[in-house]
Structure 1
Amino acid sequence: MVDQPRTTGSYTYGGSYDPNINQPSRQTVKFLTAATIGVSLLFLSGLILVGTVIGLIIATPLLVLFSPILVPAAIILSLIAGGFLFSGGCGVAAIAALSWIYNYVSGNRPAGSDTLDYAKGMITDKARDVKERAKEYGNYAQGRVQEATQGSY
């Protein structure tokens, strides 16, 4: 007996085998699955919307009655939360800066170190130029002072 792979399908009346009968196409299964999921999610979103509206209708009188207390409390809580977030952000920035400085000093060349080296070179060049110009101007000014003092005798 020869081993043949199993296939799904059905036999027709004449005894021949047709594998395409009684098998839904792959696109049909995909469509039905997507439609089922889409309809159920749409139904759930509608229920959530209705629940939200009902909750808002019930909570509105309470919010109006307690607004003199709730509004300042919300402002204070938001300021406190903002302060904590700002403090945490400054701490993270400080740790990142210290880590970058440590990596730069230890020679690991973190990101942006080439820009820092370039800027350091530019500042050094400008400082040298300013020093040379100041020396030239000092010599010029000293010569003018000597001319002025010699001319007054």
Structure 2
Amino acid sequence: MADRQGGQSRRTRQQRGPLSGSLILNRLQKHRPSTCQVFGMIALAISGGILLLLTALTMTATVIGIMVFSPFLIISSPIWVPFAALILFVVAGFLSMFCFGVVAVAALAWAYRYLKGFHPPGSDRVDYARSRIACTASHVKDYAREYGEYLHNKVKDAAPGA
């Protein structure tokens, strides 16, 4: 029993202390990868290398293409620039028309649901705003009536015979 405890304490001291060569080998043997993991890493390295090669070829072709076609683009730019601007405006017009149409349909659908009493999202804010507007209009009407009477009395005081 005492030997077992002494052996355990020596092992824990070895693990806590600086890493020795045998301890590193033991850890590597405990965590050695399976064959599936090895083949996966090989496949990953091969596919990564192929993708890196394709990236380099694409970049090279792009640079060569820019060098070859730049004179053509510069010479024909008086044709391309107005054409590109025309295409840009046409596409922007159609996109804005589509977006405004979608917004109009959504607004009409919301208003239809609101008027039918289905209480769509945001209807509580509309009801609150309507009540605030009605309350404010009532206050303005009362204030105008009181101020009108006040002005009418002022006119009678200024001209008693009127």
Provide closer, same or farther for how the CA distance between residues 23 and 136 of structure 1 changes in structure 2, counting only shifts above 3 A.
closer
Following superposition, the deviation at residue 54 of structure 1 comes to: 1.6
Once the 2 structures are TM-superposed, how far is the Cα of residue 44 of structure 1 from its aligned partner? 2.0
**TM-score computed with the length of structure 2 as normaliser:** 0.71
Q: Which residue of 1 aligns with 2:103?
A: 93
Q: Which runs of 5+ in 2 are unaligned?
A: 1-29
Pick 1 or 2: higher relative contact order, CA cutoff 8 A, min separation 6. 1
Offset at residue 149 of structure 1 (A): 2.0
* Corresponding residue of 1:134: 144
Determine the C-alpha separation between the residues in 2 that align with 1:63 and 1:121. 63
1:117 corresponds to which residue? 127
Whole-Å Cα distance in 2 between the matches of residues 101 and 53 of structure 1?
56
Distance change >3 Å, CA 35–CA 121, structure 1 → 2: farther
Check 1:148–1:23 CA distance in 2 against 1; reply closer, same or farther (3 A cut): closer
* CA offset digits 1:24-72 (Å, max 9, x no partner): 2666555444444433322222222112112211211110111111111
Identity level (%): 38
Which residue of structure 1 aligns with residue 154 of structure 2?
A: 144
SS in 1 for 2:34: coil
TM-score w.r.t. the length of structure 1 is: 0.75
Amino acid at match of 2:48: G
Matched length? 132
CA displacement at 1:119 relative to structure 2 = 0.8
Q: How far off is 1:100 after superposition?
A: 1.0
- Measured at CA, do residues 149 and 60 of structure 1 come closer, stay the same or move farther in structure 2, by a change above 3 Å? same
Q: Which residue pairs with 2:21 in the alignment?
A: none
Matching of residue 48 in structure 1 with residue 58 in structure 2 = yes
Which letter does structure 2 place at the counterpart of 1:147?
Answer: D
Structure 1 gap segments, 5+ residues each: 1-19
CA distance in 2, matches of 1:59, 1:110: 56
Q: Partner letter of residue 42 of structure 1?
A: L
